[in-house]
Amino acid sequence: MFSKSESKGRKIRFPVMAGAVLLVSTLAWAQQAGPDGALASWLGQELTVESSTINDHMPVGGKLTFVFDNADNVVRVCTRTAPGQRNAWHMDFTVPCGVTMTFTRGTRYCTVDDVKAGNAEVLSACHRLRSRDVAMHPPKVKGTVELNDMIAFLVQAADGSKMMAILVDSPARVTDGGVIVLK
């Protein structure tokens, strides 16, 4: 009687063990996979805020570096104050690498003109990073904090250089009407 139940147990254990090994190896591979290829060349590169039509969200002249955090599968935005920077970094950007973004792979890279035009159909096809609920600038009403959504579109300039164009959404989910350009 023991030999029959023992042989059945062995038959069941092998597929379960094989499935567990496959699952663990797949998860380990996924963790080591790293950032998407469409994003990889923008990571670790320091970009400068070249222009902004939203004056108090990001200071012109400020430096940003986008770093992939493999453990959390997010991109961290690390800021640095540069000589000649117009204003100081505010709110969430003062915390070292405190703002996180998630990557969405599109079918192409946008141009700055695409981002400025704001056509949702065109922008939905572009590679982009998104962060929700970021405090970017001092509140207009004392004792409050305004949280914004930030969408950074990956832009490959005509000369091959890497850029980003950032749109900022207000709490009412209406675009503030400005674009921040990083080079």
Q: Residue 163 is encoded by which pair of tokens?
A: 């850029």
Say how many C-beta atoms besides its own lie within 10 A of residue 92's C-beta. 21
Which has the minimum average pLDDT: 50-59, 73-82, 127-136? 50-59
Gap between the Cα atoms of 58 and 157, Å rounded: 21
Of the chain, the percentage scoring pLDDT greater than 70 comes to 76
13: left (phi over 0), alpha (psi -120 to 50) or beta: alpha
Tens digits of per-residue pLDDT, 22-59? 444 444 444 456 788 889 999 999 999 998 887 678 88
The 3-state DSSP class for residue 103 equals strand
Residues 154, 115: Cα–Cα separation, whole Å: 10
